[in-house]
Amino acid sequence: MQLILISGLAGAGKSTALKILEDSGYYCVDNLPPPMLLQLIQIHLFSSDVKKIAVGVDTRSYSLLRQLPNAIHDLSKLGIDIKVIYLDARVDVLIKRFSETRRKHPLSDGEKTISDCIKEEQEILSSISNIAYKVDTSDLSANSLRGIIKQFVNADYSQLNVVIQSFGFKYGLPIDSDFIFDVRCLPNPHYDVAIRIFNGTEEPIIEYLDGQEKVQEMIEDIYLFIKKWLGEFSLDNRNYVTIAIGCTGGKHRSVYITERLAKLIRVLNYKVMIRHRQI
């Protein structure tokens, strides 16, 4: 049986993620107190045909969250395949979402600001965040999140999974990355009006950047660094590493380099997932 725990900050997209998993054939339960996880699994393990379950766990049950590690441990002894997804977003984005929906934050007591509530929530959920597959939903559409969730579900966790994502610095730093590489110093196709409408997956940009010596040097340097340290991450029992490549707008250089790095790292027999945040 497979169990996916969906956690993260209020307003970061947990409800959307659960709906995506439900559409993918998962039996979904939202806001289940951690002590009841074992009961839920036992019911379906021995008396139903349900083999894929997704559960939302967040600060609505914060008084019981400290029991989650024990619940995960007990389920692991039953041979349950457990994966944890943590949905995150920048504070300014979360505040805007609460303002637009006029919803009350789960930790609101009438005195704390939304910023105070978010900070407290980050602290409460830090132990879950540290063991989870993190997704920054700040600039993601529902369709983009759907693609990421489906990639996660289908990933092979018998080996290290490498996530490589492009992004634009003008939209803010992705907060779900282990490594961030800044490639804004490289020649920018944006200034060639004949090709600026294309992105880094399309031939005019590829041809332009293929011919730039500094771009090729940057790819080689990043690749050698990543190649050297991926093995250490595997030995540390990590299931994934997320690498972010950033240029100004997230459309040309970062996209091109992400695609090139993905090809190089796949040769090392790692499972590679690609995200392009801005295209």
pLDDT tens figures, 162-191? 999 999 999 999 999 999 999 999 999 999
CA distance 24 to 149: 10
Please, which residues have CB within 8 angstroms of residue 220's CB and are 6 or more apart in sequence?
Answer: none
| CATH value at residue 110 | 3.40.50.300
Between 29 and 69, name the one with better pLDDT.
29
For residues 82 and 184, membership in a common domain is answered with no
Residue 241 and residue 216 share a domain: yes
For residue 63, is pLDDT > 80? Answer: no
Q: Are residues 12 and 121 in the same domain?
A: yes
Kindly state whether residues 123 and 175 are assigned to the same domain: no
Distance in angstroms (rounded) separating the CA atoms of residues 65 and 71: 10
Overall average pLDDT of the 45-50 stretch: 79
> For the residues 252-258, what does the mean pLDDT come to?
98
Token digits of residue 277: 């945040």
| 250 and 211 housed in the same domain | yes
> Do residues 68 and 187 both lie within one domain?
no
Q: Which residues pair with 91 in a beta bridge?
A: none
> What is d(CA 209, CA 164) in angstroms, rounded to the nearest whole number?
19
Report percent pLDDT > 90 for the chain.
56
Checking if the pLDDT of 195 tops 90, the result is: yes
Q: Which domain holds residue 135?
A: 2-154
Burial class (CB in 10 A: 0-12, 13-18, 19+), 85: buried
Q: What's the domain count of the chain?
A: 2
E strands, the chain, are: 2-8, 27-29, 52-56, 81-88, 133-136, 161-168, 179-182, 240-247, 271-276
Task: Give the pLDDT band of residue 194 (cuts 50, 70, 90).
Answer: very high
Same structural domain for residues 38 and 140?
yes
Confidence of residue 58 (pLDDT cuts 50, 70, 90): confident
Distance between CA atoms of residues 122 and 15, nearest Å: 18
Question: Of 154, 178, 209, which one is at a domain's C-terminal end?
Answer: 154
Q: Give 220-254 pLDDT, tens digit per residue.
A: 999 999 999 998 888 776 778 999 999 999 999 99
Last residue of a domain, one of 100, 125, 154: 154
Residues 108 and 172 in one domain: no
Structure tokens at 179: 């490594």
Which of the 8 DSSP states describes residue 143?
Answer: H
Burial of 118 (0-12, 13-18, 19+ CB in 10 A): buried
Residue 110: how many other CB atoms lie within 10 Å? 5
Q: What is the pLDDT of residue 237?
A: 67
Same domain, 183 and 88: no
User: Tell me, what's the pLDDT at 19?
Assistant: 93
Helix, strand, or coil (residue 209): helix
147 & 186 share domain: no
Out of 104, 128, 154, a domain closes at 154
* Pair (63, 179) in one structural domain: no
190 shares a domain with 133: no
Model pLDDT, residue 209: 98
